[in-house]
Structure 1
Amino acid sequence: MKISVVIVEDDPMVADIHSKYVSSLAGFTVITVLENGQDAIDYLLEHDVDLVILDIFMPIKNGIDVLNTIKTEQLPVDVITITAAKEHDTVNTCLRSGVFDYILKPFAFSRLEQALQNYQQKFIARKNIGEKYQQQQIDLMLNFAAEETTLELPKGIQEFTLKKICTTLKSSPVPLSAAEAASESGISRVTARRYLEYLLEISRVTLEPQYAPVGRPVNRYRYR
């Protein structure tokens, strides 16, 4: 599942750079680029979008107007602002509106990459949560560093095997597939997949789909 992104930026050159960079990251797809706040509002009212990359200073309607509409209409979309606006009132207004991140121009693209990776981690965790949250999952949504806690293990999950697969994931510098985690841990692929799904459910791992030109994506797991 790719994260759908709309870029709202009135400078065509900057918008093109943002679009190419976001599109180059695994798991993201830019579905449209808009040049002012009014176009953004009209689009968001008619389309489902996961994430908006939003400028503040724009013609017709500005980024604050877009944020106000998102809040008033209760649109299920997240926002990362990329703007030159550094005034106290503007920054605080955006933060109170619930933006996921606020990036000042000019910026290093490593900063945007960090913001997108953080968002992707929480997006995937949110999609894999059932009807009710656990405290660790809420902490993750709120950017709190949840401490390791002892959980009551569900039926079919053994502490020894769980620790073994956690150790395997922690020691790997790259995310592992279920097959790789099984091989490294000395357990069956079916067992590894069951434990990985449990770790994903309690937000101890993140899911990083690896997309190929053809075929289904390979799910890879990284320990948090």
Structure 2
Amino acid sequence: MIRVLVVDDDFMVARIHTGFVARLAGFEVVGARHTGRDALAAVAELGPDLVLLDLYLPDLFGLDVLAQLRADGEDCDVMVISAAKEVDAVRRASHQGVVDYLLKPFGFDDLRDRLERYAARRDLLKAAELEGQHDIDRLLGRRTSTATQPLPKGMSVETAQVVERVLRDSEGTLSASECAEQAGLSRVSARRYLEHFTTTGQAEVRLRYGTTGRPERRYRWGS
């Protein structure tokens, strides 16, 4: 179980967030606090794995709470949940190593998606070795195209993830035929997903010219 501490100055909001977390398998709310100082004391007492941290607290700014946690040697993860949209706040949060930053107001699905990604990254940390770039990107919290871009009708998330992983792990460029062979797909199917990734800007295509015929389209992850 991932043990979660909810920190929000609004009692009702804290109750709602607690209810959201309680609905998720694998997560357990160990407490809720409403001030920065109470949050610091609760982390020391309860030892949560993850703190859902509001920034606008009545006594301390949330990121100052985070800084104090690190100064105290607490290694719990922190996910910011706040209405703060200032660039400086987001930049500071990023520099201080928060695992995610979720703007209020939000619904259950928004929090669920982020917590599930967080749980998946925690599972990767238990591995002695990562399989490739795809796992490293997941560990660092980088979203893949299949999570951020809607797929056209007739395309599946599972197949898109397979093609994406093959492309990410390639040391150079791949043709549709080479990608299809590694992914276990037909060339037509692989080409369709590859072209989707180029359309969404997640991949780029380069033309390789031969002595005769049409140039070969070769794909590379990243733009």
Using the size of structure 1 for normalisation, the TM-score is 0.60
CA apart distance, 1:37: 0.8
Q: Do 1:80 and 1:99's aligned partners in 2 also have CA atoms closer than 8 Å?
A: yes
Q: Do 1:71 and 1:97's aligned partners in 2 also have CA atoms closer than 8 Å?
A: no
Distance 2:131 2:108 in 1: 34
Structure 1 residues 68-114: Cα deviation after superposition (integer angstroms, max 9, x where no partner): 12333342211111111111211111111111111111123221111
Give the structure 1 partner of residue 47 of structure 2: 48
Query: Which of structures 1 and 2 has the bigger CA Rg?
Result: 2
Distance 1:70 1:141 in 2: 22
Q: Do 2:4 and 2:27's aligned partners in 1 also have CA atoms closer than 8 Å?
A: yes
Q: Do 2:77 and 2:99's aligned partners in 1 also have CA atoms closer than 8 Å?
A: yes
Give the structure 2 partner of residue 87 of structure 1: 86
CA apart distance, 1:41: 1.2
Q: Do 1:36 and 1:62's aligned partners in 2 also have CA atoms closer than 8 Å?
A: no
Give the structure 1 partner of residue 68 of structure 2: 69
CA apart distance, 1:28: 0.3
Give the structure 1 partner of residue 165 of structure 2: 147
Distance 1:78 1:49 in 2: 8
Letter in 2 for 1:34: R
1:3-22 counterparts in 2 under 5 A?
3-22=2-21
Distance 1:110 1:59 in 2: 28
Distance 2:121 2:140 in 1: 9
CA apart distance, 1:49: 1.5
Count of aligned residue pairs for this structure pair: 150
Give the structure 2 partner of residue 115 of structure 1: 114
1:1-224 counterparts in 2 under 5 A?
2-127=1-126, 129-130=127-128, 135-136=132-133, 137-144=135-142, 147-148=165-166, 149=169
Structure 1 residues 8-32: Cα deviation after superposition (integer angstroms, max 9, x where no partner): 0111100000001101111100000
Using the size of structure 2 for normalisation, the TM-score is 0.60
Structure 1 residues 140-196: Cα deviation after superposition (integer angstroms, max 9, x where no partner): 31135583359xxxxxxxxxxxx9xx99xxxxxxxxxxxxxxxxxxxxxxxxxxxxx
Distance 2:12 2:117 in 1: 26
Cα RMSD (Å) of the superposition? 2.4
Distance 2:43 2:86 in 1: 26
Unaligned runs of 5+ in 2: 145-163, 171-181, 186-223
Distance 2:11 2:34 in 1: 8
- SS in structure 1 at match of 2:81: strand
Distance 1:68 1:133 in 2: 30
**Structure with higher RCO (Cα < 8 A, 6+ apart):** 1
